[in-house]
Amino acid sequence: MSEHDPYGTMHATTIITVRKGDQVVMAGDGQVSLGQTVMKANARKVRRIGTNKDGGNEVIAGFAGATADAFTLLERLEAKLEQYPGQLMRASVELAKDWRTDRYLRRLEAMMLVADPTITLALTGNGDVLEPEHGTMAIGSGGNYAYAAARALMDTDKSAEEIARRAMEIAGDICVYTNGNIIVESMESTAS
């Protein structure tokens, strides 16, 4: 804790996405920590957003970072998806432009993973819109642990969901800011 941050730093989470075969999965834990205290154990940091022509949700989004900041970004992404329906890449690039250039948005401290049936992306406040090279990507305090575990499991016969769940378990065993309350969202993938 510092004089500028008297309550300690809010530590985020672990979010992972795995795209394998005909499935894309996103998983996240539920822990929200303030300093050395677990403030909440069952937060929902992975959710479906956007609406397709059939009325279903077309995008899975997961966030790490300050919760209010992440919800602001989720709302902005939903607005971009309404503006560019069915175009997750375009909506993400437009959000990244706004995030980087808008004085208010630049101060937001969060990262997002987003996926639709065809593409998975990581969005950052630096203007990054990144697509995974190996079918998996992870963010948050335990992201590197989950990513390494998922990469190691990608060549096995495990499904995308099994890989994501196991990677989250491993991250939860290593990262003190990640717990075992795992939320999983999945959809059929058209990209392999």
pLDDT digit string, tens, across residues 78-137: 999 999 988 999 999 998 888 777 766 666 777 899 999 999 999 987 788 999 999 999
Residue 87 Cα distances to 59, 82, 84, 93, 119, angstroms: 10, 10, 6, 10, 10
**By the 8 A CB rule, do 178 and 104 touch?**
no
What average pLDDT score do residues 30-45 get? 87
pTM of the model: 0.88
* Residue spans per domain, the chain: 10-180
44 by Cβ neighbours in 10 Å (0-12 / 13-18 / 19+) ranks as exposed
The rounded distance, in Å, linking the Cα atoms of 17 and 26 is: 4
pLDDT at 104: 65
Catalytic machinery residues: 13
pLDDT at 3: 42
List pLDDT tens digits, range 39-63.
889 989 999 987 665 555 689 999 9
Is 165 a residue whose pLDDT tops 80?
yes
**Residue appearing with tokens 């900041």:** 69
Classify domain 10-180 at the CATH topology level: Glutamine Phosphoribosylpyrophosphate, subunit 1, domain 1 (3.60.20)
